[in-house]
Amino acid sequence: MKAWTGQLLRVNLSSKEASIESYPKELALQFVGGRGFAMKILWDEVPKGTNPLSPGNKFIAAVGPLSGLAMPNVGKTIVAAKSPLTGGYGDGNLGTHFGSQLRRAGYDLVVVEGKADAPSYILIEDAEVSILDADNLWGIGAYEAEQKLEDLHGKNIGTLMIGQGGENLVKYATVRSMMGRSGGRPGMGTVMGSKNLKALVAKGSKSPEIADPQAFRQLGRDGFKDIRDKPSYDEWMSQGTMLIHAWCQEFSVLPSYNFREGQFEHAEALSGDTMEKMKEKTRGCPSCTMQCGHCIKDSEGKSAELDYENVSLLGSNIGMRDLREVATLNRLADEYGLDTISLGNTIGFAMEASEKGILDEKLDWGDFHATSQLITDIAFRKGSLGSDLAEGTQHLAKKLGKSALDFAMQIKGLEISGYDCHAAPGMALAFGVCSIGAHHKESWVITHEVDVGRDTYDEGKVDKIIELQRIRGGMFEQLVGCRFPWIELGFNLEWYPKYFNAATGLKWTLNDFWNLADRVYSLIRSYWVREFNGEWDRTMDYPPQRWFKDPLSVGPLAGAKLDKEGYDKMLSWYYKKRGWDERGIPTKTQLKEQQLEWVIPELARVTDLT
Ligand code: PTT
Ligand code: SF4
């Protein structure tokens, strides 16, 4: 096998043992890498019903056959585990040198199991694997920890680490790297914390062997040039993901006041144009010429990175109106290793609950000082409010009871990212059926929907959602590359089979990637059903009641809300097209067609299969 190393590294923190395993060729051919590898291992190795915070859960970092090669935007790594926030499959795709160093050390993935008896970190240097004392790293933030690791092990290392949020088991703690990248929204950092694992460090000395190095080199050069020559390249470099902020305000999808509204009266102060004027530098992932992390000085004069999601959730969604203050909240989240999307949602929910008088504590929209203190309380689980908010929106809503779940902006336990869907049924469905809970990463159908008409509930939108899932939730998560060259600049998708074939010697087409994506979608869905012990029905794929019940009250779309019947109709089309039944559970026929027949016995133990 070319391009894949064919090896997996397993580290057991309880027994303090590490082993190198060759994995079967079929794993590579049937799952390719990243998300596919992670899901297969979780299905096989983490028994049904495992507590995500117990030693039985596994933390997986996985790359793909292109990771670390000389081509655009493949400096990413998938981090995955059973999610402590949702109870289902969880993962994230973050920029880091860890993946390329792991490959250079000779592995396509590392599986961490058990629990260390004291704070530890894992050092991987080719075949040498050590579990080291992390006493002087525990209790400090992600930036400082990374600096200390670089001081100890040199600059040319790849690291994955957690901040204090992960140590204190905040349910939406992320994995951090490169002083700015953050991934694994559904608590992948929490799983590391539950294992007493502060960091993983990799350093390798060999390059992965590929089938046609000469052709690959040329393709690599051509790809970088193609990206830099794109007409929209300069515009992208000016604001990155913040370009979408003004669009979201214009089209009433900018989450404001806990997704009560889609427009914000102070949007201009938080816009991409405002950010551009304040910008001091850009940062980004390895092997990328599109550096999308834009940094400004925050309200304390420290450098902080901004992306659209951070600015929408920690900005308009909680009533903040000063970009430097938003940057401070963002920097705190980065330091503590908390997901900004879940954090901004949870705080927004608490502010609304306080306003409605169903939360005892007083929390005002836009109160910067109270919010920054609250973020610290969450990271350290200080006080009952800090501790409750550390559990996430769904938990707090259930605790408050009454109709609180109606305005808890989450699906399957994962908080919704920055697109209000009062008038966007397709995007609402995309959130509803995303495989890790409400994330925009798989099917960002909102711009298409605005183009084709927002008030329709039609089959075409469902087709588009599946098309985008195959690309974004499928190919890019299996190959473990960044999707931005394609989605933001129009880098042609046909490049990817070319890279893949030159590296592996195979002859895949895009269609092969779509089939693979569909297989992984069915497997992930089967995993959720298994973990929920068959107590699964279509309501798991419903968005919060707010979008059906409370119409927007400001802007040109005032009065807009979703139609429940229309949503259900689209959900049924989605299931049918995926080969799943009316509950959203894969049918036996579909599982067999997708070479997932081995899933059937275990799934049949928890539910009737059709
Ligand atoms: C992603 C999610 C996003 S999605 C953002 S901003 W975005 C938030 N960023 C956070 C942050 O920063 N700090 C923090 N403490 N929490 C944060 N939470 C939020 O996390 C990210 C980029 C972005 S920026 C996006 S859209 C794209 N996502 C990709 C993806 O999912 N897959 C893929 N193949 N390519 C992608 N390219 C882009 O990567 P999660 P990153 Mg992240 C400061 O991983 O778990 O999906 O969370 O990984 O390296 O930071 O890249 O407007
Ligand atoms: Fe990383 Fe942004 Fe480059 Fe993608 S575009 S590889 S997220 S820096």
pLDDT in tens, 517-552: 999 999 999 999 999 988 999 999 999 999 999 999
**CATH number of the domain at 7-203, please?**
3.60.9.10
Query: Does the beta carbon of 95 lie inside 6 Å of ligand 1?
Result: yes
The one-letter code for the residue type at 593 is E
The predicted pLDDT at position 534 comes to 81
First to last CA, the chain: 38
- Helix, strand, or coil here: 462? helix
Query: Does the beta carbon of 174 lie inside 6 Å of ligand 1?
Result: yes
Q: What is the mean pLDDT of the chain?
A: 97
pLDDT in tens, 127-151: 999 999 999 999 999 999 999 999 9
- Helix, strand, or coil here: 242? helix
* Closest C-alpha to ligand 1, atom 16: 339
Query: Does the beta carbon of 95 lie inside 6 Å of ligand 2?
Result: yes
User: Distance between CA 129 and CA 316 in Å, rounded?
Assistant: 46
Measured CA distances, 434 to 414, 431, 460 (Å): 10, 5, 18
**Dihedral angle, C-alpha 27, 29, 35, 41, nearest 10 °:** -10
User: Distance between CA 575 and CA 74 in Å, rounded?
Assistant: 32
Rounded to two decimals, the pTM is 0.98
The one-letter code for the residue type at 311 is V
pLDDT in tens, 405-446: 999 999 999 999 999 999 999 999 999 999 999 999 999 999
User: Distance between CA 184 and CA 435 in Å, rounded?
Assistant: 13
Q: Six-digit token pair at 196?
A: 């007493």
Of the ligands numbered here, which is closest to the C-alpha atom of 491? 2
402 has a pLDDT exceeding 80:
no
pLDDT in tens, 190-206: 999 999 999 999 999 99
Measured CA distances, 140 to 136, 559, 582 (Å): 8, 47, 48
The predicted pLDDT at position 122 comes to 98
User: Distance between CA 37 and CA 27 in Å, rounded?
Assistant: 7
Q: Which residue ranges make up each domain of the chain?
A: 7-203, 242-412, 419-490+509-610
pLDDT in tens, 288-324: 999 999 999 999 999 999 999 999 999 999 999 999 9
The predicted pLDDT at position 329 comes to 98
User: Distance between CA 162 and CA 192 in Å, rounded?
Assistant: 7
- Which of 79, 87, 18, 13 lies closest to 46 in space, CA to CA? 87
CB 290 within 8 A of CB 489: yes
CB 76 within 8 A of CB 480: yes
| Highest CATH level, class, for 242-412 | mainly alpha
Pocket test for ligand 2, best of 292, 295, 309, 479 (most atoms within 8 A of CB): 292
Sheet containing 59-62: order of strands: 17-22, 7-12, 109-113, 59-62, 76-82, 89-95
pLDDT in tens, 492-506: 999 999 999 999 999
26 has a pLDDT exceeding 80:
yes
Query: Does the beta carbon of 284 lie inside 6 Å of ligand 2?
Result: yes
CB 398 within 8 A of CB 406: no
Measured CA distances, 571 to 175, 193, 246, 427, 455 (Å): 32, 36, 30, 12, 16
147 Cβ neighbours under 8 A, 6+ residues apart: none
CB 187 within 8 A of CB 172: yes
* 419-490+509-610 is a CATH 1.10.599.10 domain: yes
Query: Does the beta carbon of 285 lie inside 6 Å of ligand 2?
Result: yes
> Residue 464 half-sphere exposure, CB side, CA atoms within 13 Å?
20
Provide the percentage of residues in the chain whose pLDDT is more than 90: 99
7 has a pLDDT exceeding 80:
yes
**pLDDT-based confidence at residue 1 (cuts at 50, 70, 90):** confident
Taking the CA of residue 76 as reference, the ligand 1 atom at the shortest distance is 49
